[in-house]
Chain A
C-alpha cells in the first residue's frame, strides 16, 4: 500500500518535473542571451569574416527563436552540445567529469556535517544552557560566520604549507586531497545543522511522549535514540534537500581555492564567458539534481513520519 502510494507519488512528481524544467530551460536560455556580450567577444575584436564563421558554426546567426527550438530538439536526445569555451569537450563530457567530483566532495561534506552537526546539536540540547552548550554552539557559530574563502587559505597554510601533512590543492581522487575541501565545505553546514538540531531537540524533549518514554523506564540514551532523535532531525532533513543539492553541485570558491575540477566553476565560468551551451547544460543538470533531491527528502520524511502517506496525497 505504501509502496504503491510512493510509486504513484514518484510518477506524479516526475511528470511535474517536465513543465518545471521546460520553464527553467526557457528562462535560462533567454536570460543568458539577454546578457550583454557574446561568447566570442574578447579584448581583441575579431575580423567580421571570422566572426561570421564562428556564428555560423554555432548557429548563432539564426533567429533566436529558431536557436531555441534547435536547442530544445537537441536536449531531447540528451545532448547538451559542444562547449563554446572548452572547445574539445562536449558539455555532457564536462558534466560527466565534473559532477562525480562535486558529488563526492559535497556528499562527504554533507555526511560529515550531518554526523557532527546532529551530535553537536544533541549534546548542546541535552546540556541546555550549560557551559558545554554555550561553548559548543559558540564554536559552531564561528563556522557560520567565518566565510570559507578565509577558512580555506588558513587551512591550506596550516596543514599544507607549514605542516606539510596534506597537499595544498589539486585533485587525483585520493583522500588526502579531499580532506580540506570537505572540511571547508562542511563547516558552515555543521554549524547550521547543529543549531537546527539543538532547537528541535529541545522542543522534542519537552513533548509528552518523551515524558511517557521516561515514565516507561527507558534509560535516557534510549529515550534520545528511539524517541527523540527522529523527530528532532526532521527539520534537518528538510534543510538537507536543498543544502545537499547546493553542496554536490559544487562551490566555485572551494573549487578555485583547492583547484578541484568540480561542477561549480563550469557554471560561473560558463556564465562569465557566455558559454551558452555550458551554462544551459549545468543549469538543467542543477534543476534535475534539486528536484531529485527534494523527492528523496520527501521519501525520508515519509519514513521518519508515518503520518505522511503518499497514498492520501493529491
Chain B
C-alpha cells in the first residue's frame, strides 16, 4: 500500500467511523498469517486431519470479552469464564462440536421411568491432571460443594432441579439430604424434584463440573490459580494474568489427549470490540469474542471469509408493564403497538447485524423446537399497520386523545437506536408521542422489577440451556424476572405440565401451547433473534456453528499456510456461512461440501510466513 493510500484510508476511517474503511482493499501490509491462505484440509480414514496439513505450531489465540470473574467452576456464571472452563474441565456429560449432549466422564446413564432418577456409570480409567484417579465420589463432593450455602454460588440455580437443592441452599436441610447418591466407586445416582428433560445438558455446564477435593481443601479460595488448579479436561491452567490473558496447555492425562490437536490456547480478555477487531486484523488473534455492530457492514465486505454469523439462543424484545396505565387491561393497545413495529426495518436498516426478525418469544433452532408463529407474521407491514390503527382506535385513542408513552432502556447505543426507531414507527403509524428514557443498567433493572415507573421497556433473554422452557418460565406468575406483571393460570398450568412431561413430542406441544397463550396476551413486542458473529482465522478448523455458541478448543486444529506465491487451488472449504443467508450449523471440516473460492485474489508475497 502506498503512503497516500494509507493516509486516505486513515482519513476515511476517521470520517466514517470505521464503517467504510478503504474501497475493496484487503491489503493491509505486514506479515500476517490471516492474510495467507490455508492449505486444503485432508482427512485421514478415522476422520481426523492428516498431520501433513497441520501447522507446526498449534497455538490458538482466542479473544474472550471481559476478564473472567472466576475460574472456580462452581462460582462461574459469565460467558468468558465458561468458555475457559469448558477447556479445563469435563462434566458427566459434555458437548459435541455441534452442541449436542454426549457422554463425558460418564460413559452411559439410565433414566428411571418417572424421569426423576438418573444413574451414571463413569469411565473407569480416568485421572485428574495431577494423576490421581477420577471417581464418582469426586462428583458427589463437587455437586454438594456447588449447592453448599457457604459456597454462595449464584450459578447453583442451574442445579435447582436436583431434589432438595433449594432446601439445602436455604440452609434448611443438611447437605447429605441432596438427591445425590454414591452407588459404588464409579456409579452414582441423582434424583430430581420433577422431570427435567434438559437435565443432561445442565450437567455439561461449569457448575456441574468436578473439582478435586484435596485441591480445594489445600488451597481454599486460591485453588483456581495457576500452579494450583487440578482439572480433568483437555487442558490445564498454566498462566493467569488478570486482564492480560489466560494460558492453557494440553493436559496429557485427559482421556482423549491424543485427539486434542491444539497444544496451547490463550484466552485474551479484550473488552473493547473495536480493539479486538484491530488485533484480529493485525494478526494477534485467531478467534474474536464478537464483532462491533458499527463495523459489521464493513467486515461483511472486507472479511467475508473470516466473518462467521450463526443463530444463537437469545431473543431481543420489549416488554409491557401490565400492572400500570396505559397497558393494564388493554390488550388492543398492546396489540396495536406490537403490530406497528416494522421488524424488517429494525434488523435490516437499524441494527444491520444479520439478526432474524421474530414474531414470538422462543428463538428458532433450540433443541428442535418450532416456535409459535402468530397470524400476523405472514402479513405485509401495510396490513399490520392497518390492523394496528383499527385496534388503536378501538382502545379509545385518536388524534383528539393522543397517547404519550415512555420507552425505557439501559444505556447502550444499540438499545437507543432501536428505541428511537420504534418510537418513530409508532409516531408515524399511530401518532403516539414517545419519550425515551435511558438508565444505568442496575437502576434500570431495579425500576423494571418494581413495576411502578415502567411502561414499555427493553428486555431480552439469552438461555443457559438448550430448552424453550427457559424462555417461557420467565412469564410464570410471580417469577422473579416477571417484570411484566403477567399472570395467567392457563399459561402456568401448561408450563407445570410441560415440566413433568417425559415424552419429548408431548412436552414440546405443551410448550408451544403455552407460548401461544403468552403471545395472544400480548405481553412482549418480539423484535429479533440474536446471532453470534465473530472473526475466525481461516486456518482454524474443526469447530462448528451451534446455537449454544460453545466451541471447545479440543476439537480445533490449525492448518498450515500455503506457501506464498503458490497457485490458488480450485476449491476451498469455507468455514463460515455466507452472512446474508440463514445460517445453518455446518461442519467446517466436512470434505463433501466444497465451495468455490468466491473472489480469486492474488496472494501477496510474504517473507516471514514460509514455514
Contacts and interface: CB of A to CB of B under 8 A. Distances in A.
> Do A and B bind?
yes
Interface of A: 35-38, 40-50, 52-54, 56-58, 82, 85-89, 94, 97-98, 150, 153-154, 156-158, 160-165, 167-172, 256-261, 265, 272, 274
B80 to A, nearest CB: 12
B28 A49 contact: no
User: A-B pairs with the 7 shortest C-beta distances?
Assistant: A164-B30, A37-B442, A261-B243, A45-B480, A87-B70, A49-B170, A57-B152
A54 B155 CA distance: 11
Contact of A259 (B18, B171, B269): B269
A47 B224 contact: no
Contact of A158 (B10, B32, B149, B151): B10
B302 to A, nearest CB: 12
Contact of A168 (B31, B152, B157, B284): B284
A261 B151 CA distance: 28
Contacts of A168: 275, 278-279, 281-282, 284
Contact of A161 (B28, B31, B156, B441): B28
A274 B241 contact: no
B94 to A, nearest CB: 24
Interface of B: 1, 6, 9-10, 13-14, 18, 21, 28-32, 67, 69-72, 75, 77, 149-154, 156-157, 160, 166, 169-171, 221-222, 224-225, 241-245, 268-272, 274-275, 278-279, 281-284, 440-443, 445-446, 449, 460, 480-481
A247 B153 CA distance: 37
A37 B446 CA distance: 7
A98 B71 CA distance: 19
B157 A47 contact: yes
A57 B29 contact: no
A250 to B, nearest CB: 11
A167 B245 CA distance: 15
A47 B160 CA distance: 10
Taking chain B's interface residues, is the majority helix, strand, or loop, or is none over half, making it mixed?
A: loop
B169 A49 contact: yes
A257 B150 CA distance: 38
Contacts of A258: 275
Given A161-B281, A162-B28, 9 more contacts: A44-B481, A50-B157, A98-B243, A156-B278, A157-B10, A157-B13, A168-B279, A171-B244, A257-B274
A259 B152 CA distance: 31
B221 A82 contact: yes
Nearest to B269: A259
B29 A88 contact: no
Contact of B169 (A53, A97, A150): A53
9 contacts: A47-B480, A49-B169, A88-B72, A162-B6, A164-B30, A168-B282, A169-B284, A171-B244, A274-B442
A82 B222 CA distance: 11
A168 to B, nearest CB: 4
Contacts, number: 172
B271 A259 contact: yes
Contacts of A88: 70-72, 221-222, 224-225
Nearest to B6: A162
A86 B274 contact: no
B475 to A, nearest CB: 14
Contact of B30 (A87, A97, A163, A171): A163
A13 B211 CA distance: 51
B152 A50 contact: yes
B244 A87 contact: no
Which of A43, A89, A98, A162 has most B Cβ within 10 Å?
Answer: A162
Nearest to B270: A259
Contact of A57 (B150, B166, B275, B442): B150
Contacts of B169: 47, 49-50, 53
A44 B269 CA distance: 23
B72 A157 contact: no
B214 to A, nearest CB: 18
A224 to B, nearest CB: 37
A97 B72 contact: no
Contacts of B6: 158, 162-163
Nearest to B240: A88
Contacts of A49: 149, 166, 169-171
Contacts of B150: 53, 57
B244 A153 contact: no
A46 to B, nearest CB: 5
Nearest to A39: B442
Nearest to B459: A43
A183 to B, nearest CB: 16
B194 to A, nearest CB: 16
A168 B440 CA distance: 30
Given A57-B152, A88-B70, A162 B449 contact: no
A281 to B, nearest CB: 14
Contacts of B18: 153
Given A43-B445, A54-B152, A259-B272, A172 B244 contact: yes
A157 B152 contact: no
Contact of B14 (A89, A154, A156): A154
B275 A169 contact: yes
Contacts of B284: 167-170
A151 to B, nearest CB: 10
B278 A157 contact: yes
B157 A46 contact: yes
A172 B150 CA distance: 37
A58 B221 CA distance: 14
B32 A164 contact: yes
Contact of A257 (B32, B225, B272, B282): B272
A259 B268 contact: yes
B166 A47 contact: yes
A86 B275 contact: no
A153 B75 contact: no
A170 B225 contact: no
Question: Which of A40, A82, A89, A260 has the largest count of B CB atoms less than 10 A from its CB?
Answer: A89
Q: Which of A58, A258, A274 has the most CB of B within 10 A?
A: A258
Contacts of A259: 243, 268-272, 275, 279
Residue with the greatest number of chain B CB neighbours at <10 A, chosen from A161, A261, A265: A161
Contacts of B21: 157
B408 to A, nearest CB: 14
A150 B225 contact: no
Nearest to B1: A162
B556 to A, nearest CB: 21
Contact of B446 (A36, A161, A167, A256): A36
Contact of A41 (B32, B221, B281, B442): B442
B267 to A, nearest CB: 12
Contacts of B70: 86-88
A185 to B, nearest CB: 16
Contacts of B281: 161, 168
A62 to B, nearest CB: 15
A89 B242 contact: yes
A48 B171 CA distance: 12
A170 B446 contact: no
A152 to B, nearest CB: 9
Given A94-B242, A156-B275, A172-B244, A162 B69 contact: no
